[in-house]
Chain A
Amino acid sequence: MSIRVQSDRFDPGAELNAFSAGVAGAGAVVSFSGLVRDVDGGLQAMEIEHYPGMTEKALARIRDEALARWALADVLIIHRYGAMAPGEVIMMVATASRHRKDAFEAADFLMDYLKSRAPFWKKERSSSGADWVTARDADEDALKRW
């Protein structure tokens, strides 16, 4: 039931293998990785700010909610902050369960809540300047389906 908030890069493949090895009896593992996206080719860097203390509490609460709602053998959440380049991994979640439906739904739930209930803020730096990423109404609306 690991939660990590870090500035260091990590290898999502290695993390997934280690996670899977620890839940060998579970039967199903789902993972999601979020990368720094370069939509129009002009992104130079992304900077992510967070609220130390509240971040860890918010992530633990989201994880606990997932554990209460689905039959999960384990949950992993890793989220970076600081500066990163296009293509770098920002975060990942992994869920393990006996049957795939629990793992899929829980991972989807974790991502919806991570997007708008964990105190991270993204800033994109491009040749035209730096702008804070605006939260989308669709992200807030996505919470209503849970």
Chain B
Amino acid sequence: MQVLYFAWVRERIGLPREDVQSDAATVAELVEELRAREERYAAAFSDLSALRVALDQELSEFTDSLDGVREVAFFPPMTGG
């Protein structure tokens, strides 16, 4: 699946998107896999309350299933308007 990062999450991890091969069943499991990779991922995902997730461009929850999902995006709370 494609994993996208925006705003300070993108800056902390150092890239805007990447292809991730994962068997994670939920967003939370995917986050655990990413955290275990490298320090920059652990830093970006250290506080999930400061993050939001979108699955196939729909705002979602960390407990949601990744079944059939092609695009996962992580970002801080939005500041539009």
Contacts and interface: CB of A to CB of B under 8 A. Distances in A.
A133 B80 CA distance: 10
Interface in A55-103: 57-58, 79, 90-91
Interface in A105-146: 111, 114-123, 132-135, 140
Contact of A91 (B57, B77, B81): B81
Interface stretch (B2-10, B20-28, B31-39): B2-10
Interface residues of A, number: 26
Contacts, number: 71
B11 to A, nearest CB: 8
Contacts of B10: 49
B75 interface: yes
Contacts of A120: 78-81
A54 interface: yes
Contacts of A114: 80-81
B57 A49 contact: no
B57 A51 contact: yes
Among A57, A58, A121, residue most surrounded by chain B Cβ atoms (within 10 Å): A121
A121 B78 contact: yes
A79 B6 contact: no
Given A121-B7, A132-B7, A51 B54 contact: yes
Interface string A30-70: 00001000000000000001010110011000000000000
A58 B81 CA distance: 13
A2 B79 CA distance: 22
Given A117-B59, A119-B54, A51 B4 contact: yes
B80 A116 contact: yes
A115 B81 contact: yes
Nearest to B7: A121
Contacts of B81: 34, 90-91, 111, 114-115, 118, 120
Given A54-B57, A117-B59, A123 B78 contact: no
A51 B76 contact: no
16 contacts: A49-B6, A51-B57, A90-B81, A91-B80, A115-B78, A115-B81, A116-B79, A117-B78, A118-B78, A120-B80, A121-B76, A121-B78, A122-B80, A132-B7, A135-B77, A135-B79
